Amino acid sequence: MHNGAIRPGLDVSSALQRVVRERRIADVATVVATSSRARVPLAAKLLVEDEGAVVGTLGSAELDEAVIRDARRHLESRKSEVVAYRFGVETEQEEVEVFHEIIEPRPQLLVVGAGHIAVPLARFGSQLGFEVVVVDDREKFANRERFPDADRVIAAGFGETLRDYPINRSTFVVIITRAHTYDEESLRLILGRPTAYLGMIGSRRRVQTVLRTLAAEGYDHDVLGSVRAPIGLDVGSETPEEIALSIIAEVVAVRRGGTGVPLSQKGRPIAIGQGGRNVSDG
Amino acid sequence: MSPTGDLAWLLDQANERIARGERVAMVTVVRTRGSTPRKVGTKMLVFEDGLFAGTVGGGCGEADVLQETLRAMESGEPTLFHVDLTADEAEESGDVCGGIMDVFIEPRLPVDESPRN
């Protein structure tokens, strides 16, 4: 009799703990159902990291291979779901169901610059479920009193902070420092690293100057083209709060796969009907 | 966000209890149909005494899940448990129940209790 309670996946559980602690992304594949013939134990686990490392086994090399292949797909779509597998030689086919579970950290909003836009932005981010981190080199701005909702406030230089800052595909980076030299310095340290979102504030002209400089230095054009700059959706922002709203709206649109287009203009126009009836009528 | 919703916290709790020689079980929503109160991936950690952290039902179908989990913890055998919330009568608590979900129940035993073979 196979007791699957603890033995399978012991090293997976410590690997999982590490993934969670280090805010990394992984697919934990768990056998949740087996056919009577299956020799694969229930609760067997395999962990596939976003960066590629694989820990554990489900008890069959053939099944492992198929599951690892699917794990890559799930890591891409970030969707957890149960998938059925059939494997083994024809006369002794085994059927199992495997739960692909995407483990990912709470999305983090990394606000670079603690100026007047950062204050409402940190508040919005926190309300929308982000872990909010604010960094600025001025202690007068980067402090708890100013950012009561932030999970972390770092008062240190942009360069020294960002150089070793852990960033991955769950990190939404918003660069809004007080000067475009700091914006540029911060951008350099993040460009080319995987992010969920990378945006930089500035007028079209100023943004162009920065991007051109970096392109001339040999930065990849596609990488530069993926930077959201000027940052935000067009909502006609004027006040700091409105600018923060425009930024967080773009962040949410990227997180959830939205387009930012007004819903009223998406798809076919709503048929208003004859005789000037109201849109909301039946 | 409450710390109980946090996977890191749940894993720490589980390890702490196991180190103390207690059994625990992790319950995970793996499949849903219809409008269930919880999403796929939601977890609940159940302790030997029937107390738990997190929720997979938000009051809906929770008693059944808990009972099944305590049974699994006793036997040490993991199990896939089917929960039908469409017929649940949780109106008194004001919860909105509905849909069908499968939860996977994984008991974890203290190391010195683990089977040796």
User: Which pLDDT band, with edges at 50, 70 and 90, does A89 fall under?
Assistant: confident
User: Which pLDDT band, with edges at 50, 70 and 90, does A270 fall under?
Assistant: confident
Contact A17 B11 (CB under 8 A): yes
* Best mutation target, B6, B74, B106, B111, to test chain A (most A CBs within 10 A): B106
Q: What is the pLDDT of residues A112-155, one digit of tens each?
A: 999 999 999 999 999 999 999 999 999 999 999 999 999 999 99
Encoded tokens for A151: 């999970």
DSSP state of B5: G
User: Which strand ranges, in their side-by-side order, compose the sheet holding A26-34?
Assistant: A54-56, A45-49, A26-34, A94-103, A81-87
Residue B96: CA count within 13 A, CB half-sphere = 5
* Mean pLDDT of the region A49-60: 91
Q: What pLDDT is attached to residue A282?
A: 43
Domains of chain A with CATH codes: 10-103 (no CATH), 108-256 (3.40.50.720)
Q: What pLDDT is attached to residue A111?
A: 98
d(CA B115, CA B76): 10
Average pLDDT of chain A to the nearest whole number: 90
Give yes or no for residue B103 having a pLDDT over 90. Answer: yes
Q: What is the pLDDT of residues A8-18, one digit of tens each?
A: 455 898 899 98
Contact A33 B80 (CB under 8 A): yes
Q: By C-alpha distance, which of B90, B96, B110, B103 is closest to B39?
A: B103
Looking at the DSSP bridge assignments, the partners of residue A28 are A47, A101
Q: What pLDDT is attached to residue A226?
A: 94
d(CA B62, CA B54): 11
Q: What pLDDT is attached to residue A280?
A: 54
Residues 6+ apart with CB under 8 A from A31: A40, A41, A42, A43, A44, A45, A58, A59, A96, A97, A98
Residues 6+ apart with CB under 8 A from A264: A270
DSSP state of A132: E
For residue B27, give the H/E element and its range: strand B24-33
The contact set of A with B (CB < 8 A) is 3-7, 13, 16-17, 20-21, 30, 32-33, 42-43, 80-82, 97, 99, 101-103, 106, 129
* Mean pLDDT of the region B16-39: 90
Q: In chain B, what are the domain boundaries? A: 3-109
* Mean pLDDT of the region A219-233: 95
Q: Please report, as a single letter, which amino acid is at residue B31.
A: R
User: Which pLDDT band, with edges at 50, 70 and 90, does B112 fall under?
Assistant: low
ipTM: 0.86
User: Which pLDDT band, with edges at 50, 70 and 90, does B97 fall under?
Assistant: confident
* Mean pLDDT of the region A186-196: 94
Q: What pLDDT is attached to residue A271?
A: 83
Give yes or no for residue A244 having a pLDDT over 50. Answer: yes
Encoded tokens for A27: 């697919």
Contact B7 A20 (CB under 8 A): yes
CA distance A214 to chain B (A): 39
d(CA A125, CA A176): 15
Looking at the DSSP bridge assignments, the partners of residue A34 are A96
Contact B11 A20 (CB under 8 A): yes
Looking at the DSSP bridge assignments, the partners of residue A172 are A109, A197
Output phi, psi for A275, to 5 deg.
70, 20
Q: How many CB pairs under 8 A join A and B?
A: 64
Task: Find the angle CA(B61)-CA(A5)-CA(B115) to the nearest 5 degrees.
Answer: 145
DSSP state of B22: -
In chain A, which ranges are continuous DSSP H helix? 10-21, 61-77, 118-127, 158-163, 180-190, 204-216, 221-225, 240-256
Q: What pLDDT is attached to residue B39?
A: 86
d(CA B50, CA B97): 22
Q: What pLDDT is attached to residue A4?
A: 36
Q: What pLDDT is attached to residue A275?
A: 58
* Mean pLDDT of the region A200-228: 94
Contact B107 A17 (CB under 8 A): no
Give yes or no for residue A281 having a pLDDT over 70. Answer: no
Partners of residue B79 in chain A, C-beta under 8 Å: 42
Contact A81 B31 (CB under 8 A): yes
Partners of residue A13 in chain B, C-beta under 8 Å: 11
Give yes or no for residue B55 having a pLDDT over 60. Answer: yes
Q: What pLDDT is attached to residue B116?
A: 41
What percentage of chain A has pLDDT greater than the value 70?
A: 93
User: Which pLDDT band, with edges at 50, 70 and 90, does A276 fall under?
Assistant: low
**Least CB-CB distance to A43: which of B11, B41, B78?**
B78
Q: What pLDDT is attached to residue A141?
A: 97
User: Which pLDDT band, with edges at 50, 70 and 90, does A3 fall under?
Assistant: very low
* Mean pLDDT of the region B75-93: 78
Q: What pLDDT is attached to residue B104?
A: 97
